[in-house]
Structure 1
């Protein structure tokens, strides 16, 4: 299994995909005139405004749901892997892919808003499958994306998150006795962890998207803030080393420490895994938001990239490098370019981060990371479920197969348990296959859509015109802008026009003189 998955990764994560991720981010940054910088203040305003409705969730809730997918094991174990296989310079490339990816995140999330729909229950649904069908006009391609996403988010990716939870619990509290099972010899700690996570997960996902949104909007900001505070304390305790760390990160990004290609490759791969810009996962939550204008949620989602990589990932990287709690693997098995830790401490896991905090705060680091990883990874699994559910909803628009949603919940719960007890290398490799498939399909899709019609760019320009005019209640009329197949927004415009006409007539009746 490991050999097969590694072979697939070698094809999917070729240098072409690495440079496609970077190139798409640069392209959209230029086309939007670096929207991630120009509208930074507006991102903050939008983040703190907006309300949920019966049809959708608020901008902040949508941000929390998408952040729950972004802020996960990639921020703790993923950063460790990037450093362990690409050297400290890989962190620089994570920053680059985050900065450029913020423009990609705006584009894909604005597209999700433009082409969103209401499902059978009256809730908003949208994402790459929807905008590929409506903007590109290629339903077969949309189906391929939907099926790949159901496979990735329903089967392959949840195991990465639960695996990190299991490893962190085992490291913090011990493995306990080993038990022989039909799927191998597993520690009691992992069996208990897998069972606990699976039961709690089932309780929440059977409650629907509203329960997911309410859970994540509380947990994600709290845990992210707590984690950053701990990292900040460790950095302050070693403040004299910060210039050296920055020098290492920037210097190693352009020197062949672990190979120039290794630094870029691992930085981009783990950067995309962490912030998910271009991967096509964020747009699903973006489409669920109830906003006045599609560009608004695009800007909010763009801001989430900064939170994920420039704050949380950087916090992890600085802790690891400052404390020296890492090894850098060479190109051959068992070879180390830097070895600060025992050779049997794997880079594909949370150990580097746990040891980094443990070095500065003895007795606190291992349990804290286990606790943080549980919440980070658990909320990410919830986000994966919502994304897979949305793509099943897309398929059900055409093919009505009873029990699809129920089957997804069962399969994902089993995948989470299985991922908890399996080896880290296999779990991460399977996750990389899922991320790579989605990234290929989505980035190619949004680039084709841009050259066909530029809907996300048109929406941004329309929003900026209304901003300059001092509009308080923004409107979006796709017909006037020449955007086709934006059915929800067309219908919304008709309803608004009907309401305005009715109000005008009522005013006229009220001012008519009586006989």
Structure 2
């Protein structure tokens, strides 16, 4: 079995250079890299940050002006007899956004590009909030009603914007499903390995991956995942409604405690981040482009703004206006990067383990041990070290598990663009569970499929290249919907507002008119 896993890992050896090529293009050509200033910016960076700047300006920096509105929408109680509430959609999208990348990605970015990478995460996230708003509004405009649920997102608005071509929706659906399935092994691996690590912290004894404990945990995880996945999106949202607040509160609380215990290092943190953003320390390779790309790349892997992969949650929400969910999804990017990723950055940068005598050993560690070692440096006392390590590992476990069920659920929504038959939906669920089991089996075999992690990077950038052009195709619809939203004149949102057919909203407006007529009688 071990030979099989190793062979599969080796098959994907080609992924890392291919992923790096797309992320770095065209900076990997000497003629372009030699251009002053511009030569530091890859196409991916220009697309993501440039699009965020454009959508910010055209929407009047709606991520700032309507931030409070988004909070009020989340607090609003709403019947979700059809679809799910805005809050449930927010938690569902946060289950995907707030994942292992919030720890592994940030730690890896700082280890590779230095503390300055965190600054570029902030920049990309600020403008990415407008991009997330744009894609969420499109998901709402072109969502479809399927019995008592809404389905929408990248495959749905992509199909409409590309001339209602069936192949477009099918291709985008398959692209997301393949991307999600490639990410599932790592998430299954993360959940099982983190549970094992928590058990070792509690017992103080080392547990081999072939022990009965790991086998029992693995079987239970597969059964629980199957139970949730076969419950459909409503069951998934009930799970994420409960887990997302718990993991966010615990993580924020623990890291805030570490910050309070190390207040003297806070000035160092800000000096290192802002200084490193433009003058990276030589230990990290020392070029501006490395820091910039690491910040944007890992920021995207965390908050997924511009990627289109969170849009399925936005399209599933029951709202009064498409722009409402846009405001909500914008807040999701803020929570993910400005809050969760920043807290991870505080731990890694304030500990600055790379500058001490143990620097060589720290760089040799994997990303999660790097993070936990940094937390240990900030924690006074052996007993407290164990408690902090347990809680942070527990959060990491929940981050991975919510990503796991979210990816299976979003794959199901994407599959609805191909066919809504039960056979197709059940097939997607079964394949997702099977691939998760494969990742768990890798953990039992003690093999970390590092090359499969690289598929996430490749999938991220390919979906960005597919999604961003669609956002420009639908931009006029978003800008008109935004203008209508800001007017607050009481008129319902319909096809006439944007000049394109959106059947659900016309049907909704018609029903509202009928109710008013009946009440008048």
**TM-score interval w.r.t. the shorter chain?**
0.7 to 0.9
1:250 matched to 2:266: no
> In the alignment, which residue of structure 2 is the partner of 1:65?
92
CA 1:411–1:97 in structure 2 vs 1: closer, same or farther (change >3 Å)?
A: same
The answer (yes or no) to whether the contact 2:303–2:333 under 8 Å persists in 1 is yes
Tell me how far 1:368 sits from its aligned partner. Answer: 1.8
Question: Cα deviations across residues 3-55 of structure 1 (Å, max 9, x unaligned)?
Answer: 22113312332322232111111111111111111111111111101414221
Deviating 4+ runs (over 6 angstroms): none
Q: Using the alignment, how far apart are the partners of 1:178 and 1:290 within structure 2?
A: 44
Q: Using the alignment, how far apart are the partners of 1:285 and 1:28 within structure 2?
A: 21
Stretch moving more, 485-494 or 360-369: 360-369
Q: Using the alignment, how far apart are the partners of 2:449 and 2:55 within structure 1?
A: 35
> In the alignment, which residue of structure 2 is the partner of 1:407?
427
3-state DSSP class of the match of 1:308?
Answer: helix
Tell me how far 1:2 sits from its aligned partner. Answer: 3.7
Corresponding residue to 2:509 among 493, 505, 515: 493
> In the alignment, which residue of structure 2 is the partner of 1:333?
none
1:23 matched to 2:56: no
CA 1:419–1:261 in structure 2 vs 1: closer, same or farther (change >3 Å)?
A: farther
> In the alignment, which residue of structure 1 is the partner of 2:327?
299
The answer (yes or no) to whether the contact 2:93–2:313 under 8 Å persists in 1 is yes
> In the alignment, which residue of structure 1 is the partner of 2:137?
110
> In the alignment, which residue of structure 2 is the partner of 1:37?
64
Question: Cα deviations across residues 298-333 of structure 1 (Å, max 9, x unaligned)?
Answer: 1011011111111111011101111224589xxxxx
Q: Using the alignment, how far apart are the partners of 1:65 and 1:500 within structure 2?
A: 34
CA 1:86–1:122 in structure 2 vs 1: closer, same or farther (change >3 Å)?
A: same
3-state DSSP class of the match of 1:394?
Answer: coil
The answer (yes or no) to whether the contact 1:135–1:449 under 8 Å persists in 2 is yes
3-state DSSP class of the match of 2:109?
Answer: helix
The answer (yes or no) to whether the contact 2:363–2:370 under 8 Å persists in 1 is no
CA 1:201–1:52 in structure 2 vs 1: closer, same or farther (change >3 Å)?
A: farther
CA 1:84–1:164 in structure 2 vs 1: closer, same or farther (change >3 Å)?
A: farther
Tell me how far 1:273 sits from its aligned partner. Answer: 0.8
CA 1:8–1:414 in structure 2 vs 1: closer, same or farther (change >3 Å)?
A: farther
> In the alignment, which residue of structure 1 is the partner of 2:160?
134
> In the alignment, which residue of structure 1 is the partner of 2:477?
455
1:11 matched to 2:21: yes
3-state DSSP class of the match of 1:475?
Answer: coil
Q: Using the alignment, how far apart are the partners of 2:223 and 2:95 within structure 1?
A: 19
Question: Cα deviations across residues 74-119 of structure 1 (Å, max 9, x unaligned)?
Answer: 1111111111211111111111111010000100001101110012
The answer (yes or no) to whether the contact 2:106–2:344 under 8 Å persists in 1 is yes
Stretch moving more, 307-316 or 441-450: 441-450
3-state DSSP class of the match of 2:292?
Answer: helix
Q: Using the alignment, how far apart are the partners of 2:265 and 2:139 within structure 1?
A: 43
Q: Using the alignment, how far apart are the partners of 1:327 and 1:55 within structure 2?
A: 55
The answer (yes or no) to whether the contact 2:84–2:149 under 8 Å persists in 1 is no
Q: Using the alignment, how far apart are the partners of 2:213 and 2:371 within structure 1?
A: 20
Structure 2: tracts of 5 or more residues without a match = 1-10, 25-41
CA 1:486–1:81 in structure 2 vs 1: closer, same or farther (change >3 Å)?
A: same
Stretch moving more, 127-136 or 290-299: 127-136
The answer (yes or no) to whether the contact 1:77–1:164 under 8 Å persists in 2 is no
CA 1:306–1:503 in structure 2 vs 1: closer, same or farther (change >3 Å)?
A: same
Bigger helix fraction: 2
> In the alignment, which residue of structure 2 is the partner of 1:203?
227
3-state DSSP class of the match of 1:364?
Answer: helix
The answer (yes or no) to whether the contact 2:252–2:340 under 8 Å persists in 1 is yes
Corresponding residue to 2:460 among 412, 418, 435: 435
Matches within 5 A, 1:411-422: 411-420=431-440, 421=443, 422=447
The answer (yes or no) to whether the contact 2:247–2:395 under 8 Å persists in 1 is yes
Matches within 5 A, 1:133-152: 133-137=159-163, 139=165, 140-152=167-179
The answer (yes or no) to whether the contact 2:86–2:325 under 8 Å persists in 1 is yes
Tell me how far 1:167 sits from its aligned partner. Answer: 4.0
> In the alignment, which residue of structure 1 is the partner of 2:299?
271
Question: Cα deviations across residues 49-80 of structure 1 (Å, max 9, x unaligned)?
Answer: 14142211111111000000101101111111
3-state DSSP class of the match of 1:46?
Answer: helix
Matches within 5 A, 1:307-456: 307-325=335-353, 339=359, 341-346=361-366, 349-359=367-377, 360=379, 361-396=384-419, 403-420=423-440, 421=443, 422-423=447-448, 425-450=450-475, 454-456=476-478
> In the alignment, which residue of structure 1 is the partner of 2:105?
78
The answer (yes or no) to whether the contact 2:494–2:502 under 8 Å persists in 1 is no
Please give the TM-score of this superposition, normalised by the length of structure 1.
0.87
Q: Using the alignment, how far apart are the partners of 1:147 and 1:485 within structure 2?
A: 25
CA 1:208–1:87 in structure 2 vs 1: closer, same or farther (change >3 Å)?
A: same
Please give the TM-score of this superposition, normalised by the length of structure 2.
0.86
Q: Using the alignment, how far apart are the partners of 1:85 and 1:492 within structure 2?
A: 51
CA 1:340–1:171 in structure 2 vs 1: closer, same or farther (change >3 Å)?
A: farther
Structure 1: tracts of 5 or more residues without a match = 180-186, 329-335, 507-515
